[in-house]
Structure 1
Amino acid sequence: MLENADLGKLIVRLTLGCLILFHGIAKILHGVDGIAGMLAGHGLPGFLAYGVFIGEVLAPLMVILGYQTRIGAILIVINMVVAIALVHMGQLLSLGSQGGWALELQGFFLFTALALVFLGPGRYKLHS
């Protein structure tokens, strides 16, 4: 009874999708000007900041629903790699004040999404 890989995949999908979606909702409510500024500081066009809506709204919804889960998960992986490269590179090898990796949250999002790329959605999904 406790061995249910499909239920486990659903829990992973819902956890990853919901937690990232909260970040996307914040950007819908408060805008992406800060991200555009960071991109400009790296010599990139500010309009690329709108790509965060793909990685933090569209992709999490795909993962939550189990619709094209692997594509949604790949989009989250890309989103997290860009976020780490632009914002968190200085913390890559750092520990936080509580002794854990400074990038625990980013690492969780990145590697859980990568796991879903390989695991797929499981049985409990929106049929495509």
Structure 2
Amino acid sequence: MNESTGKLILRLALGILILLHGIAKMTGGIGFISGTVQSAGLPAFLAYGVYVGEVIAPIMVLIGWHSRIGAAIIAVNMLFAIGLVHRAEFGSLSQTGGWALELQGMFLFVAIALVLLGPGRFSINQK
């Protein structure tokens, strides 16, 4: 019971917080991401992957439907975000002494933990 409750809390935290970023992209567009992807020498259409990583995958994680796959997609999305947008901050500390990428790092490592742990019994797949 406690283990499944803990997994549910992780799923809700990751799913809701990433989905909020996705909603912002749906309402504000992905022009910035498209430009960033193109400036890295990648095809512009890859920018649309942000909708998979920040809308579809978090919903999968939230409801517990193939949560491991959804969490893996979020982890890949965060690696792209760190590599394309936050690369210069990777070794930096914030003004308060924390890692400059602590939010992105937390998203990445919680997603990896959910890939390894699975969704728990409070999920559609119940595994």
TM bucket (normalised to shorter chain) is over 0.9
Paired-residue identity, %: 57
1:31 & 1:98 partners in 2: Cα distance? 31
2:7 equivalent among 3, 6, 9: 9
TM-score in terms of structure 2 length: 0.96
**Structure 2 residues not aligned, in runs of 5+:** none
Deviations 1:55-99 (A, max 9, x none): 000000000000000000000010000110001111111000111
Aligned residues: 126
2:125 & 2:14 partners in 1: Cα distance? 20
2:60 & 2:118 partners in 1: Cα distance? 12
1:47 has 2:55 as partner: no
**Structure 1 residues not aligned, in runs of 5+:** none
Letter in structure 1 aligned against 2:114: L
Name 2:22's counterpart in structure 1: 24
Q: Which runs of 4+ in 1 moved over 3 A?
A: none
TM-score in terms of structure 1 length: 0.96
Deviations 1:100-122 (A, max 9, x none): 00001000000000000000000
